[in-house]
Amino acid sequence: MSTPAEMGKSGVLKTHEATSTSGYGLPVYILGLAFLIITVYFAYELLYRRTKGVAAGGPTFIIAGPSGAGKTALFTLLRYGEKSTTLPSVEQNISTTFRLPNLPDTAKPFVLIDTPGHQKLRHGMFSALQIAQTARTIHGVLYVVDASAISRPERLREAAEYLYDILRITERVRGGTDVLVAANKSELFTAVPAKRLRTLLEVELDKIRESRAKSVDKVGAGGDKHDGDDGDEDDSAVVGGNLWLGRGGEKEGPFKFEDLETEVTVVDGSVDNDKIDGWLGWMEERAVN
Ligand SMILES: Nc1nc2c(ncn2[C@@H]2O[C@H](COP(=O)(O)OP(=O)(O)O)[C@@H](O)[C@H]2O)c(=O)[nH]1
Ligand SMILES: [Mg+2]
């Protein structure tokens, strides 16, 4: 119905465009190009260089964990000494001048990065971690977990899945990157203690390892078994392919944190109750290394 009208309209527009291009063609073109270049540059700066530069620029701690665990609350408490969480959780919150309270003022400031926990936004955390590992600026990952909700199977699963992905990265470097599982919200009566949380995570990580190995088996049509039997303890070379975490081979028993290069420590605390001394102590130990 409206086709002739539209056609007419576009016809007019075309003539107009044609006139304008012939009128001030080159300046408009240059202006447009300059605008495009500036936009692309800032997008690059914002999305890539910022994280890369920051994570590679100085000694770094990265805060990660599922949504709602208290990462931003912890970041705010560490950085500003406040408990209110007015900071956004959809992007990274970065401080390049973070100082640990018990270290002398002369000590170098740290880079502290709070990352979003939503599954679709985790890639930023993975790349920040990889960049900091490559630049050897990483001093540790604070993996914040809501210990009061972990007795719910789906929450435990989520916490273990994300941790599995992180450990797959920390295992790529010799000696691993230290991970602190910060069992937050421990003041709530439903909270599981650190020791129990450690066991729960180990059991869940074992299940994830099994199921991922199976799905790889199904996909990789050629091989009938996952390549974990020939002592492939840390084959970083096949990072994309081998999803096995920990000791190789199914016969070597269930998943254990001790089998990793990465040192995983579970410590409970509470951002709400200012009970973060255990976590600070862990950071201080890693700050000097
Ligand atoms: N009970 C309790 N709630 C907390 C604690 N730490 C954080 N929260 C709350 O948990 C919710 C999620 O916190 P937030 O920092 O946004 O989580 P994030 O998604 O991991 O960044 C907020 O309502 C916080 O006030 C804590 O130690 N105890
Ligand atoms: Mg957050």
Q: Do both 74 and 185 map to the same domain?
A: yes
| 208 shares its domain with 236 | yes
Of the two residues 243 and 116, the one the predictor is more confident about is 116
Domain boundary, last residue among 37, 57, 77: 57
User: Ligand 1 centre and the CA of 193: distance in Å?
Assistant: 18
Cα(76) to centroid of ligand 2, in Å? Answer: 10
Claim to verify: residue 230 and residue 110 sit in the same structural domain: yes
- Say if CB 133 and CB 125 are below 8 A apart: no
What pLDDT does residue 253 have?
Answer: 84
Mean pLDDT over the full length of the chain: 82
What band does 49 get if pLDDT is binned at 50, 70 and 90?
low
Q: Are residues 74 and 46 in the same domain?
A: no
The rounded Å distance from CA 86 to ligand 2 centre is 10
What is the C-alpha separation between 277 and 280, in angstroms, rounded? Answer: 5
pLDDT at 225: 40
Instruction: Determine the residue of 185, 273, 276 to mutate for testing ligand 1's pocket, defined as the one with the most ligand atoms within 8 A of the Cβ atom.
Output: 185
User: Which residue's alpha carbon is at the smallest distance from atom 13 of ligand 1?
Assistant: 70
Question: What pLDDT, on a 0 to 100 scale, did the predictor assign at position 7?
Answer: 43
pLDDT digits (tens, 9 = 90+) for 7-33: 444 444 444 444 444 567 888 889 999
- Domain total of the chain: 2
**Are residues 157 and 224 both part of a single domain?**
yes
| pLDDT (mean) for 242-259 | 79
Same domain, 52 and 71: no
| Cα of 4 from ligand 2 centre, angstroms | 53
Mean pLDDT confidence for 145-160: 97
The CA distance from 248 to 20, in Å, is 68
- Same domain? For 94 and 105 the reply is yes
Q: Which of 19, 39, 57 delimits the end of a domain?
A: 57
Residue 69, ligand 1, Cβ within 6 A: yes
Domain extent for 170: 60-287
Q: What is the pLDDT of residue 102?
A: 84
Segment 247-270 shows an average pLDDT of 88
Do 170 and 247 share a structural domain? yes
Residue 52 and residue 107 in one domain: no
Of 57, 76, 101, the domain-final residue: 57
Confidence of residue 45 (pLDDT cuts 50, 70, 90): low
What confidence score (pLDDT) does residue 46 get? 65
The answer to whether the CB of 62 falls within 8 A of the CB of 144 is: no
Binding site membership of 117 for ligand 1 (Cβ less than 6 Å): yes
Q: Is 188 in the pocket of ligand 1 (CB under 6 A)?
A: yes
Indicate the range of 43-57, 115-129, 138-152, 274-288 predicted with least confidence: 43-57
Verify that 261 and 151 share a domain, yes or no: yes
